[in-house]
Structure 1
Amino acid sequence: MIREINFDGLIGPSHNYAALSLGNLASARHAGATSLPRAAALQGLAKMRFVMGLGLCQGFLLPLDRPDAHFLRAMGFAGSDEAVIARAAAADPRLFAIACSASSMWTANAATVSPAADTADGRCHISAANLSRMAHRSIEHGQTHAQLSLAFADPAFAVHAALPAAFGDEGAANHMRLCSAHDAPGVEIFVYGEEGGRFPARQHRKASEAIARRHGLAPDRTIFAAQSQYAIDAGAFHNDVVAVANGHVLFAHEQAFADAAALKADLARLMPDAHYIEVPASAVSLADAISSYLFNSQLLTLPDGSMALVLPTEAEETPSVKAYLATVVAGNGPISAAHFVDVRESMQNGGGPACLRLRVVADPGQVDARFLLDDAKADRLERLVERWWPECIAPADMANPDLWAQVKTARAALLAEVGVSL
């Protein structure tokens, strides 16, 4: 049975606040804070459990190998893994922080996914993102592609390597899909940025066009829309900070797009029953939308056909957002519920509920079962995290070889529990 599966990134044991992401205001604000990797991973697992409790299918992806000794060797450090890690930590702390980042937790950036109903060959196409605009993320795509190739090895999928680095691609965080049903043909919307603003645009239009071609998407069912430079400069480094789509609904801030009128016209032509919910800046300022991550929520179709938002608790704590959500839920529109989850450790590093998940429309029976979650497996993963994940990482801990030995041991225990080799 074809359905939507949310694949969340299990937050890795090296989760720390190094503020590596230019343009991500939450990341910059928490630079140098003490992180709580164990709590972060447990918060992420609790969110996965909550989504399963809504009656939806849930998967997960595994944290990448950190610190990345292969990357450090490419940067000129020699010796065993332990020696490379120690030498890099002492010689170049900033470079070492890049090698340690747990940013692969945000699987919305892992890849762009086009369901089989949209593609020319009738397969679900998945393209790993190159994430070339930020150094700490640009080293992810090789390991990510290997993991995606394992999880989606069935012939029902076509898994592609990342695009050339010259054309920045940030994956599903800049991609939306509208459809009458998840297994029906849809309209795919690729959102790109233009250079020249205060912060770098992450998504290149040519990258979006290349993904659409390699996925075999019909040009008359594909839209390319420019993100508002005003939104990017305000801290909306990805489109999913200011817009989210599901089914026939596009939920977006008034200032999300460079030309919202053109996007609305395209949708009216390609999908007349699309429901565009535009949140006016007079109700929720762009600053409040970004700080609360109102739009970095999961907009989900529940088994009874209704739609619900799964939002961070920060949205409930922001008065303008809480008030607006109350009117949305109380109205006659398609969104009938709002649920709040605690993912504060991720939020403080700049990623909300939508950042943590990659949406894949497929038959769960065609996915490697090791990457699908149920309550029993969640129990085992929680016990493993409680045993192996560091409780905290302070800036002074970053050069501690015992910490990185613990991080390596934790990931090895996770791979053994899940039964995969990466």
Structure 2
Amino acid sequence: MRNVEVNFDGLVGPTHNYAGLSYGNVASLSNARATSSPRSAAKQGLEKMKALHDLGMVQGVFAPHQRPDIAALRRLGFTGTDADVLQRAAADAPEIFQAVCSASSMWTANAATVSPGADTADGRVHFTPANLTNKFHRSLEPRTSGRILQAMFSNERYFKHHEHLPDNEHFGDEGAANHTRLCNDYGHAGVEIFTFGRYAFDGSKPAPQRFPARQTFEASAAIARLHGLDPDQTVYIQQNPAVIDQGVFHNDVIAVGNQNVLFYHQQAFLDTDAKLAEIQRKFGDHPLHFIEVKDHEVSVADAVATYLFNTQLISLGEGQMAIIAPTECQENERVAAYLAELITRDTPIRQVHYFDVKQSMRNGGGPACLRLRVALNEDELAAVNPAVLMSDSLFERLNQWVDKHYRDELAVADLADPQLLTETQTALDELTQILKLGSVYPFQLEG
């Protein structure tokens, strides 16, 4: 039976903008209020999806969310027509208004945590949308993410959907950005690694001092219970608080894993030696590669600036892998030199492919942020909504859709334009027909 890992990349939404909303994300803050290009951002994402499809990967598309989020503004007391709500919120509460316009759902690594059927007690693929409580603009996402996931993975024989965890920072959950799975084969039981930033109920334990730790141990443990994971195949490892304070807001900014490779920075974790030994023990007798990047090879600052670890590790077959990296890695002399040397070593990583995703990078998200990984066997893949899987025809149709509906430039001040809301709703209504999602957006459900 064919076993694959499908990458479902987030399609960038029509309101892609640089409002600098994500405290703790250095790139997001440094580019605040710059003019963005939603059209370029969406096309850069589509080019990456198509390139992976052409490499032989099974590639999926994850729809963006409805923004501006009029329903959220109405919950906060803004009234009148949709245009009235937009303009009153923009004038009276600009910070809130900018938050409800965020296109952050493009980073689908934060959409959910996914456990393959090979790991779960009932043999189904389990999905739990992330609650993203640490940031208001992201906390608006879980219900729509859940509806989109259910439209993509609707067959209850193969897929199980959970409600997101309670909306409280004690159970702060950032999804797959803090979750890694190692395995010998995608269809066989693996080791699920949950990385967290702090213990919510024990303030005496190590925690960052400058920037927030967004994922709690308690959230990670709850998801493992919901998904029916075997404790003997589950590992919890704490992020090093010192790197969170240097801008490593998610684990996927400092480490990435795929099959039998864990690629990580020397400073990524606490109690590293003991935790790697636990992973090795639970992984079993199969070959396992721990690739540690030392401080003298690449500093944490360079790793954050280039998103060296916010890359994708993909399997090419015959035990070989490739790194999918942003061009920022290529443009940094130290990081480029490290990657050039890495592919000459005796490890599965044999290739590096660079992609221009600058519109996403400037807002704080690299290639790994843009995708949700779902390991599937042949029967499960056949049960996925086929309209969301990349093909030559879908690539062409989505590019035409972007050309038709997206603005070439967007300033933060443009977000209050009622015409932008109309353009966005028209675009998303058409997109749900292209991807055969049904009604997933609030404006469709309310209508």
TM-score, normalised to structure 1's length? 0.98
Question: Residues 373-413 of structure 1: CA distance to partner in whole angstroms, max 9, x if unpaired?
Answer: 11110100001101110111113323222233222222223
Partners of 2:288 and 2:167 in 1: how far apart?
Answer: 34
Structure 2 Cα separation of the partners of residues 400 and 147 of structure 1: 27
> Which residue is 1:230 aligned to?
242
1:341 to partner: Cα distance: 0.3
Alignment partners' CA distance in 2, 1:13 and 1:245: 31
| 2:276 partner amino acid | K
Q: Tell whether the 8 Å contact from 1:241 to 1:295 is kept in structure 2 after alignment.
A: yes
SS in 1 for 2:8: strand
Q: In structure 1, what is the Cα distance between the partners aligned to 2:55 and 2:319?
A: 12
**In the superposition, relative to structure 1, how do residues 268 and 224 fare at CA in structure 2: closer, same or farther (>3 Å)?**
same
Q: Counterpart in 2 of 1:213?
A: 225
Q: Which residue matches 2:31?
A: 30
User: Which AA in structure 2 matches 1:190?
Assistant: F
Alignment-mate amino acid for residue 193 of structure 1: G
- Aligned partner of 2:203 in structure 1 is none
Partner of 1:186: 190
* Contact map agreement 1:193 1:229 (CA 8 A) in 2: yes
| Aligned partner letter, 1:369 | P
SS of the aligned residue for 1:234 comes to: coil
Q: Which residue of the partner structure matches residue 332 of structure 1?
A: 346
The separation in 2 between residues aligned to 1:150 and 1:251, in whole angstroms, is 33
C-alpha distance in 2 between matches for 1:396 and 1:147: 29
Tell me, in whole angstroms, the C-alpha distance in 2 between the residues paired with 1:317 and 1:304.
Answer: 30
Do residues 46 (structure 1) and 47 (structure 2) align?
yes
| Deviations 1:43-68 (CA, angstroms, capped at 9, x unpaired) | 00000011111100000111111111
CA contact (8 A) 2:208 2:244 kept: no
Q: Is the 8 A contact 1:56 1:303 kept in 2?
A: no
Partner in structure 2 of residue 373 of structure 1: 390
Match of 1:119 in 2: 120
Helix, strand or coil: the match of 2:369? coil
Query: CA offsets per residue over residues 270-305 of structure 1, 9 Å max, x none?
Result: 125321000001000000011100000110011444
Specify the alignment match of 1:87 in structure 2. Answer: 88
2:280 pairs with one of 268, 282, 286: 268
Deviates more, 1:395-404 or 1:150-159: 395-404
> What is the DSSP-based 3-state SS (H/G/I as helix, E as strand, rest coil) of the residue aligned with 1:117?
coil
Q: Does the CA contact (< 8 Å) of 1:252 and 1:277 recur in 2?
A: yes
Counterpart-to-counterpart distance in 1, 2:183 and 2:189: 6
Code of the aligned partner of 2:164: A
Indicate the SS of the match to 2:100. helix
Q: Match of 1:103, as an amino acid? A: S
Determine if contact 1:169/1:208 at 8 Å carries over to the other structure.
yes
Any conservation in 2 of the 1:197–1:233 contact (CA below 8 Å)?
yes
Matches within 5 A, 1:114-263: 114-154=115-155, 155-166=157-168, 167-194=171-198, 195-263=207-275
Comparing 392-401 with 245-254, greater Cα deviation is found at: 392-401
SS in 2 for 1:118: coil
SS in 1 for 2:314: strand
Find the aligned partners of 1:149 and 1:292 in 2 and give their Cα distance.
Answer: 34
Which secondary structure state, in structure 1, belongs to the residue aligned with residue 187 of structure 2? coil
Of stretches 159-168 and 105-114 in structure 1, the one that deviates more from structure 2 is 159-168
The equivalent position to 1:311 in structure 2, one of 311, 318, 325, is 325
Residue number in structure 2 paired with 1:281: 295
- Tell me whether 1:406 sits opposite 2:423 in the alignment: yes
8 Å contact from structure 1 (residues 55, 303) kept in 2: no
* Aligned-partner Cα distance in 2 for 1:136–1:415: 23
Quote the Cα distance in structure 1 between the aligned partners of 2:214 and 2:250.
7
What code does the residue aligned with 1:52 have? H
Q: Distance in 2 between matches of 1:171 and 1:419?
A: 25
Deviation, structure 1 residue 264: 1.4
Aligned residue-pair number: 422
Distance in 2, Cα, partners of 1:69 & 1:130:
19
- Post-superposition shift, 1:71? 0.5
TM-score using structure 2 length: 0.92
Structure 1 Cα separation of the partners of residues 434 and 181 of structure 2: 34
Which stretch shifts more, 87-96 or 343-352?
Answer: 87-96
- Give the Cα separation in 1 of the matches to 2:120 and 2:232: 12
Match for 2:7: what amino acid? N
For the Cα contact (< 8 Å) 2:208–2:242, is it kept in 1?
Answer: no
What's the RMSD between the two structures over aligned residues? Answer: 1.1
Q: Secondary structure at the match of 2:29?
A: helix
Gaps of 5+ in 2: 199-206, 441-447
- 8 Å contact kept, 1:90–1:399: no
Distance in 1 (CA, whole Å) between partners of 2:413 and 2:86 is: 15
Q: Indicate if the aligned counterparts of 1:178 and 1:246 stay in contact, CA closer than 8 A.
A: yes
Question: Partners of 1:80 and 1:157 in 2: how far apart?
Answer: 39
Partners of 2:87 and 2:434 lie apart in 1 by 28
Partner of 1:416, secondary structure, is helix
Q: Find the residue that maps to 1:7 and give its secondary structure.
A: strand
1:393 equivalent in structure 2: 410
Which residue of the partner structure matches residue 346 of structure 1? 360
The answer on whether the counterparts of 2:319 and 2:348 sit within 8 Å (CA) in structure 1 is: no
**Contact 1:181/1:247 (8 A) holds in 2:** yes
Deviation at 1:196, TM superposition (A): 4.4
